[in-house]
């Protein structure tokens, strides 16, 4: 499948050559792994039991593989974060580590913030521009430089299209599915958040079904 550039790629183009470690953070299914994989030589997927076992037995493994390296779904092995931080302390050369995670570390985990070593970037679901529906006409980054660019343009996206796009979701892996399979995938996504992710991240819910639209 051909990779489609994301908005966050512009930030990565500018930052990663100069920063040793960047953490890409987003909800599940937004596309972190695909984006990060485009930029690395080595992928360590810690949701893979075999790779989890290797890294758990020897954390220095992550500094022995060819860089740049993606450490995907690092939260099940929270010590990885501190190992990356220490590696950056020893060598802050750019383009070494990309970390990708779909959740915060466990509330009981005691890990360093990574401030000054690991820069956090948030990745969002597909925007209308990323979906190929329109071209951006206003750049907030340009406005914040103090310049006075010409502002204008119009969108050909009507209410019906907006509604369709909301229902299609901003998850790259779900958009091309037929309506029924996509709905089932999205329902399952919500169920997992309510039934597992909330509790895993220390969030108590008194009536879980209400968060899924059930009564």
Domain chopping of the chain, boundaries:
7-122, 156-212
* pLDDT at 151 (0 to 100): 75
The three-class DSSP label of residue 136 is coil
At 52, list the tokens. Answer: 């989890």
* pLDDT at 108 (0 to 100): 47
At 38, list the tokens. Answer: 């485009």
* Gap between the Cα atoms of 131 and 5, Å rounded: 10
Please state the CATH superfamily assignment of the domain spanning residues 7-122 in this structure: P-loop containing nucleotide triphosphate hydrolases (3.40.50.300)
Instruction: Tell me whether the omega of the peptide bond preceding residue 108 falls within 30 degrees of 0, making it cis.
Output: no
The mean pLDDT value for 100-122 works out to 69
* pLDDT at 215 (0 to 100): 47
pLDDT in tens, 128-154: 989 988 877 777 777 788 777 777 777
The three-class DSSP label of residue 180 is helix
The mean pLDDT value for 22-34 works out to 93
* pLDDT at 213 (0 to 100): 56
pLDDT in tens, 142-199: 778 877 777 777 778 889 998 988 888 999 989 889 999 999 999 998 888 887 766 6
* Gap between the Cα atoms of 28 and 169, Å rounded: 13
Residue linked to tokens 């500094």: 63
Residue 92 near residue 70, CB atoms below 8 Å: no
* Gap between the Cα atoms of 26 and 103, Å rounded: 8
At 26, list the tokens. Answer: 């987003």
């Amino acid at each position: 499948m051909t990779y489609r550039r994301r908005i966050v790629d512009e930030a990565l183009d500018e930052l990663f050559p100069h920063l040793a470690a960047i953490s890409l953070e987003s909800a599940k299914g937004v596309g972190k792994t695909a984006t990060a994989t485009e930029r690395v030589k080595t992928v360590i997927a810690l949701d893979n039991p075999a790779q989890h076992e290797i890294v758990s037995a020897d954390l220095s493994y992550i500094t022995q593989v060819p860089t740049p390296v993606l450490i995907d779904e690092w939260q099940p092995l929270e010590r990885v974060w501190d190992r990356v931080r220490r590696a950056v302390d020893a060598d802050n050369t750019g383009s070494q580590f990309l970390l990708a995670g779909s959740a915060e570390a466990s509330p009981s985990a005691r890990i360093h913030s990574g401030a000054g070593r690991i820069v956090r970037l948030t990745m969002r679901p597909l925007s209308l521009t990323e979906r190929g529906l329109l071209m951006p006409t206003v750049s907030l980054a340009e406005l914040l430089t103090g310049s006075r660019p010409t502002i204008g343009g119009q969108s050909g996206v009507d209410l019906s299209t907006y509604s369709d796009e909301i229902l299609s979701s901003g998850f790259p892996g779900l958009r091309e599915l037929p309506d029924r399979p996509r709905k089932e995938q999205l329902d399952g996504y919500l169920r997992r958040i309510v039934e597992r992710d909330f509790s895993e991240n220390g969030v108590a819910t008194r009536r879980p079904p209400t968060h899924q639209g059930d009564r």
